[in-house]
Structures are given as structure tokens and as C-alpha cells.
Structure 1
Amino acid sequence: MPFLPAPSRPTKLASRSRRAAPALAVAAALTLSGCGMFGGGEIKEGGTTLYPCPAVGVLNETDHVTLLSGAGTDLTDVVAKAEIGKVVSTCKYDVEESTITVDIAFNGVAEIGPAAPARALTLKTFVAVTRRFNAFDKKQVYEVPVVFEPGQRQVHFVKTVEGTILPYGGRADGSIYQILVGFQLTPEQLEYNRRTSYIPIR
């Protein structure tokens, strides 16, 4: 993944900035424009930009998953498929501690398939932090349960991850980081994504 250019030194500092929005507001932003793939928010005070938030986005090839029954590859073997839509974030700088606290949320939709043995399933997703010039700095897997009510083929979901703390210092700020989300794929699922043309859920 390409990284953003190196940031310049912020022109205005605050001893402790206030959180841009609570976690519920982050999730609510998914219904608005929000941050798109690799969008980044900014902390503002009095109309003046202070610090940028880390960029957020979806890792290539992990934006969708197809769950199959056994080793099947036919459409009739599909248990469910799911895709991630939008990712949004907000952040809070603690200048005294030289840390950034980031809240993110992402939404998506799942669709039940003909081979589903039940109407409840668990999707495995991840949130990973990358730092400029390095590989993954940290990664956490999160389970997202979805339940299809009788007669319901699709379910929309929202996942919120609060309180990711990132250090910074010197001439650096939040733009040295990217926070990437995606489905936690098995090698077989990743290979399936690479060889199969994906039709988005409508």
C-alpha cells in the first residue's frame, strides 16, 4: 500500500485537544459521507487545523468474503457472502503523553446463500495498524455476528473499534499511520477472491 507524503510540523499546538466525536457519532457517520477508503480526519479547534488523524481504509483483496460449504466452488455451495462498505474515524491527541487515541467504525452487508445450514453466522474481521516504512505494527481480529431473520436474505452490520492508542513524536503526527480493516481470510478464501470475479451485493 502506498503511504502518504511525510507531514510538515503542525503550525498550532494544543496541550490537550478534545475528542472530535464520541464513538456513537463515529458509527453514525457511516450513514453520512464520512471518510472513504484511505480518508483521514483532522482535529480542529477554533476553525484551525491542528493535527491529522491516521488514514483509514480497506486492505486490498479483503473487502469481501465468500463462505463455502466444504470444498465446493459452485454457486449452490455458497453459505454466505459479505462485503465491507465504508470506514470512518475520529481521533484525539494527548500532546502531554505524545499519543493518539483513534476510534474507527466500518459498515457492511452480508447475504445468506443456498448452502447455509443456519440463519446465524459469525464473520471474522480485522483492524491493522501500519506505520510508514514498516509492515503491520499491530493487528487485532474481531468477530461480527449476523443473524438473518426468516425471509431475510441480507443483513447490514456496523463494527466499532474504540481506543486504539498510537505513539508519535518529533516531527511526526498521525499521518505516519494507516489503519486498515478487512475480513480475516483463510488462504483458501484469499485465493478464491483472487481467481473469482466478485459481484457486489445489491
Structure 2
Amino acid sequence: MPFPTAPCRPLATVSRIRGSAAPALLALVALGLSGCSWFGMGDTTRAGGTAQYPCPSVGVLNETDHVTLVRGAGTDLTDVIAKAEIGRVVSQCSYNVDESTISVDIAFDGVAEIGPAATSREMTFNTFVAVTRRFSTFDKKQVYEVPVTFVPGQRQVRFVKTVEGTVLPYGGDADGRIYQILIGFQLTGEQLAFNRRVPYAPIR
């Protein structure tokens, strides 16, 4: 799937030196911290009162922030199997100055809604985390499954996905600012065309 161009969506960023991630990351998700800094430094932590350590920019790629699963051509509301959207994104990073690497941990939340064409209450949505370099091309990308289960009697379910330990090299004059990390749903060509063709009504 080709990447559309896009601004970032709400995020929060924290930088650490050799810090560990998951509890603080989930706390940020729960608090719903936000702030948008595309190509920006985000928050920084000083090491020894001198050097600054900026985290990579993190955001949701436009046109991939939601997905609609449909039956057939999906020309009618009754053809909707389910839809899902990404909400908040938070990240934190830690620098290993001995190995000249940055470890980035990301978490994002979202909500899914079951549709009238669903034949199962258990579904899996594919998401991606992609790394690009500033002023350069795509670096690497990983697809992650997000399984959801709709409880009988409930149409919606919230989800949280964490991706820990994305390791990026740095050195010389380069630091975390040379990287962008993009998040979204892994769409098929048909799903991307659907997103572009059909106005999206956010889940409420």
C-alpha cells in the first residue's frame, strides 16, 4: 500500500536515558496526553546537565486512521461488517549512548464498532508502525494484529496496542529528530479507495 502524505495526529512524547517503557507508556494513554510536533523535538531530557536527547516524531498517517470492513462492494450501510479508528498516540524513547541507538516505545488506543453484516463477534484489525528518515525514503515497517471481541449486547469495544523496543541508530550530528514514526491501519487497496471515496462518520 502506498503511503498517503499527511500531518500528524495528537501524540505525547517523553525522552529518557536507558529508561524502561511499558508502565509509563500505558499511563500516558490513560491520561490522554496530547500535543503535535511533526518533525519536532518533543520533550527532551538533559543528561549530565548538557546534552539534549530528542525523541523521533510520532503521528498517525492521514487516510489510515480508520478502516471499514465491508461485505461485497459495501454500497449500503447494511454491508458494514465493522469499522475501527485510532485515537490517541503516545511515545517515549531512551538513548543508549554506548551503542549509539535510540529505543522507541509507542502505544495507541482506539475504538471498534460492529456492523450489521458481521457474522462473528471476534475480529482482527491489522495496524502498522513504519519508520522513515527525514528528507529520505521509507526505512522499515512492521504490521501488528489487534484482535477485538465484541461482548454480546455491546456494539463497541476499545483497544490499546503497545509496540516496544523499536531500535534506531544515531550518530554524529544526527539524533532522534531525523526519524518519523508513522502509525495507521494496514489497508488493502480497496480499503484505501473506500476511505477516499466514502465520507467517514467517527464512532461515538
* Structure 1 stretches lacking a partner, 5+ long: 4-15
Tell me what 2:163 maps to: 161
TM-superposed deviation, 1:81: 0.4
SS in 2 for 1:115: coil
Matched ranges for 1:102-181 at <5 A:
102-181=104-183
Provide Cα deviations, 1:58-101, integer angstroms capped at 9, x if missing partner: 01100000000122221100000000011111111011111000
Tell me, yes or no, if the aligned pair for 2:6 and 2:62 is still in contact at 8 Å.
no
Question: Contact (CA 8 Å) 2:130, 2:140: kept in 1 or not?
Answer: yes
Find the residue that maps to 1:200 and give its secondary structure: coil
Percent identical pairs in the alignment equals 69
In the alignment, the residues of structure 1 paired with residue 70 and residue 37 of structure 2 have an alpha-carbon distance, to the nearest angstrom, of 30
Question: Across the two proteins, how many residue pairs are aligned to each other?
Answer: 189
The equivalent residue for 2:17 is 17
TM-score by length of 2: 0.86
TM-aligned CA distance change 1:75 to 1:47, over 3 Å: farther
Distance 1:162 1:89 in 2: 9
The answer to whether structure 1 residue 59 and structure 2 residue 83 are counterparts is: no
Amino acid in structure 2 at the alignment position of 1:93: Y
Q: Supply the distance in 1 between the matched residues of 2:52 and 2:103 (Cα, whole angstroms).
A: 15
2:18 maps to a residue whose letter is: R
| 2-structure distance, mates of 1:49, 1:152 | 51
CA 1:157–1:191 in structure 2 vs 1: closer, same or farther (change >3 Å)? same
* Counterparts of residues 4-43 of structure 1 (less than 5 Å): 17-19=17-19, 22-38=21-37, 40-43=42-45
Deviates more, 1:68-77 or 1:180-189: 68-77
Q: Which stretch shifts more, 36-45 or 69-78?
A: 36-45
d(CA) in 2 for partners of 1:96, 1:111: 46
